[in-house]
Amino acid sequence: MRLEIPKFLVALIIVSVLLLNGCSTPQTDSNVSTSSNTAEETTKNADDTTTTATPVSDNTKASKSIMKNLPTLEGKATVVMTVKGSPITIEVDGTNAPITAGNFVDLVQKGVYDGLAFHRVIGPTTNQDPFVAQGGDTQSKDPKFPVNQLGTGSYVDAKTGNVRYIPLEIKGKGDSEPIYSKPISKAPELPHTVGAIAMARSQMPDSASSQFYFSLAELGFLNGNYAVFGYVTDGMAAVNKIDQGDRIESAKVTKGAENLKQPGE
């Protein structure tokens, strides 16, 4: 007799994997998996990784204060990312996710993503149900770093020597501004539809840095928990062909660069 796992339990397992395996930095006193296994394999075989890095507080007041020191995107911008010779056009939405979008566009302009690998892919190229293609781990800049050990690298600001963390930023549908540092229960303005691009993070809400993922399917159960900041508008076929280890050949801001505002501007 075959045991059928309830759909809600499958969704819960997948969300847990994205939290653990999809973090941009591990948190203290937490177990973090850095493998690219399936949900079932990961829950049975999680690697134990800890760090002394401390992401920003989940206090809303603290997050708003930190916002003053982060780049923001006022309006929209277009980024063209090239993988395996194919362009992927992304509309980055600073209207609904100004800090998350600003962080991504700023890192693109700094060339941070050029040469980085997609370290976790669950989808057509792995003969699995479509889920995500995740990249942005800065450790993957080193071609000798094992791809299956990636998942904890973040962006370190060259000027300060510190990791840049950004607060969880999700705007509810119809709301005038985003909610910071905590998940929301209502439908978001930017949902996880096919082609959504969002930030990966650890269990701490304000732990996102440079790692992002493309949604390869409708992932409604992630809505309100992870910050979507844009959508693929052209080149989804190329996204579906991404495999583990494929590298971002280049990422360029082709439109809306003037909408990026640096702290103090």
* Helix, strand, coil fractions of the chain, as percent rounded to 5: 25, 25, 50
Q: Provide the sign of the torsion angle of the four alpha carbons 119, 124, 129, 131, taken in this order.
A: positive
pLDDT, position 66 = 63
Of the candidates 49, 216, 12, 16, the one whose C-alpha atom is nearest the C-alpha of residue 132 is 216
What are the domain boundaries of the chain? 55-261
Q: Out of 3.40.50.720, 3.30.800.10, 2.40.100.10, 2.40.50.140, select the CATH number for domain 55-261.
A: 2.40.100.10
Tell me, what's the pLDDT at 249? 98
Q: What is the pTM of this model?
A: 0.80
Give the pLDDT of residue 60: 53
CB-side neighbour CA atoms (13 Å) of 47: 15
Rounded-to-integer distance, Cα 265 and Cα 260, Å: 10
- pLDDT at residue 37, rounded to an integer: 32
Q: Tokens standing for 43?
A: 């829950």
Res 191: pLDDT = 98
Residue 45: per-residue pLDDT: 28
Contact criterion met (CB below 8 Å) for 149 and 34:
yes
Per-residue confidence (pLDDT) for residue 1, from 0 to 100:
38
What is residue 68's predicted lDDT score, i.e. its pLDDT?
Answer: 81
Average pLDDT across each block of 10 residues of the chain; the chain has 265 residues. List them in order.
41 46 36 30 28 43 69 97 98 97 98 98 95 97 91 92 95 94 96 98 95 98 98 98 97 98 88
